[in-house]
Amino acid sequence: MTEMVYGTVSVRDSEPVLPKWWRTVDKWSLSCILMLFGIGILLGLAASPPLAERNNLDPFYYVQRQAFFGGLALTAMFLTSLASPVMVRRLAVIGFLIAFVALAMLPFLGTDFGKGAIRWYSLGFASVQPSEFLKPGFVVVAAWMMAASQEINGPPGKLWSFALAVAIVLMLAMQPDFGQACLVLFGWGVMYFVAGAPILLLMGMAGLVVFGGSIAYEHSEHFARRIDGFLSPEIDPNTQMGYATNAIQEGGFFGVGVGEGQVKWSLPDAHTDFIIAVAAEEYGLVLVLCILAIYAAIVVRSLIRLMRERDPFIRLAGTGLACMFGVQAMINMGVAVRLLPAKGMTLPFISYGGSSLIAGGIAVGMLLAFTRVRPQGEIGDILRGRTR
């Protein structure tokens, strides 16, 4: 529906799939993703043994599971990046519908694993978090709707995408999972802005988000407790935030040394939500800055390549995926250094977690598929041609 064909360069249809993929994919972003996965395994070797010991498991049980799920994630990323934008859109629609139904059924069939928020399905041998798989599918579906609305006599896609975003945010807030709800709303807002939304409208929506947050603070004890802890001038040293803050301070510039960190023995979520605290304590600010640079490189590289894209669907979907990927990393690290209230959000490709790793692999695979070089010429060439 939204495909545009501006063939200015001949397409080599006979070229084998893998050589064509290697020639057109963003190799810098691909290398950065592999580095994140390697860092995740490295930090898992430090953060997972204490948890395994508490659960009477093999010392590297969680590292092995992270490597397994990471392998599945990289496979999903590779296979998705091979697909054309049309195929990615079709698969994303199917995946989104399945994840949306799964999210709607969580209050009846889900579990909270004692964490106070019903976010998972327990499969016995593993657990699944539908919201992780919903995010990339929602971005692609919303981008499709917005792009369709830009066509002549097109449907009201922006309104439809907004209604869909509101429905998802309400379901996530009921779990409660305000972090993922904010991330979904942010992804939709970025795409709406790129699609040409007036700034006053976006400011008005930001005001509605603040109003919704105040309502949630008044009626949700889970949300209010996290906000109060964030606003408190003093940090309880026996809380996760207190342990993480102390670990970051102890790490300094170069860290206390490999395997010498102590925060992993105190933090129950050292291998997931607060993995950056383990990195800061054992490897210092140097590794943290490297991780920040890698995330920034992926986002910036992707946005630069998308600026040359003329298909509105690809441009919107790629922008939404890139920005959501980067903001999730910022939220996770922002929580660890107490710049943001606790969200319960993983660090993409570094934190332990099957759902987050595999869903992240799918999302990044979509991004790599959208940012591949296509035979469409530079947009500057088209603009110069029109002025002649």
- pLDDT tens digits for range 2-37: 444 444 444 455 678 899 999 999 999 999 999 999
Q: What is the pLDDT of residue 147?
A: 94
Q: What is the reported pTM?
A: 0.88
Domain count, the chain: 1
Largest distance between two CA atoms of the chain: 74
Q: Distance between CA atoms of 98 and 38, rounded to whole angstroms?
A: 31
209 found inside a domain? yes
Domain residue limits at 165: 19-232+308-378
Torsional sign, CA 164, 170, 176, 179: positive
Q: Is the pLDDT of residue 78 over 90?
A: yes
Supply the DSSP string of 228-260, one letter for each residue.
Answer: HHHH-SS--TTSHHHHHHHHHHHHTTT-S-TT-
Return the amino acid letter for 348: P
Q: What is the pLDDT of residue 6?
A: 40
Q: Say which residues have a Cβ less than 8 Å from residue 234's Cβ, sequence separation at least 6.
A: none
- Among 2-11, 186-195, 329-338, the minimum mean pLDDT is found in 2-11
Q: Say which residues have a Cβ less than 8 Å from residue 233's Cβ, sequence separation at least 6.
A: none
- Among 100-114, 169-183, 255-269, 323-337, the minimum mean pLDDT is found in 255-269
Q: What is the pLDDT of residue 380?
A: 52
3-state secondary structure of 375: coil
Tens digit of each residue's pLDDT (9 = 90 or more) over 240-263 = 777 788 888 888 888 888 777 778
* Mean model confidence pLDDT for the chain: 85
337 found inside a domain? yes
Q: Is the pLDDT of residue 141 over 50?
A: yes
Question: What crossing angle do the helices spanning 27-54 and 275-306 adopt, rounded to 10°?
Answer: 160
Confidence of residue 76 (pLDDT cuts 50, 70, 90): very high
Of the candidates 149, 140, 34, 1, which has an alpha carbon nearest to the alpha carbon of residue 83?
A: 140
- Please state the separation of Cα 204 from the chain's center in Å: 25
Q: Distance between CA atoms of 310 and 20, rounded to whole angstroms?
A: 21
256 found inside a domain? no
Q: Distance between CA atoms of 303 and 82, rounded to whole angstroms?
A: 19
290 found inside a domain? no
Q: What is the pLDDT of residue 304?
A: 95
333 found inside a domain? yes
104 found inside a domain? yes
Q: Cβ-count burial of 16 within 10 angstroms (0-12 exposed, 13-18 middle, 19+ buried)?
A: exposed
140 found inside a domain? yes
Most confident range, picked from 66-75, 235-244, 272-281? 66-75
303 found inside a domain? no
Torsional sign, CA 160, 314, 25, 295: negative
- Among 99-103, 166-170, 214-218, the minimum mean pLDDT is found in 214-218
Q: Distance between CA atoms of 84 and 372, rounded to whole angstroms?
A: 9
Angle at 117 between CA 113 and CA 119, to 5 degrees: 75
Supply the DSSP string of 76-110, one letter for each residue.
Answer: HHHHHHHS-HHHHHHHHHHHHHHHHHHHHTHHHH-
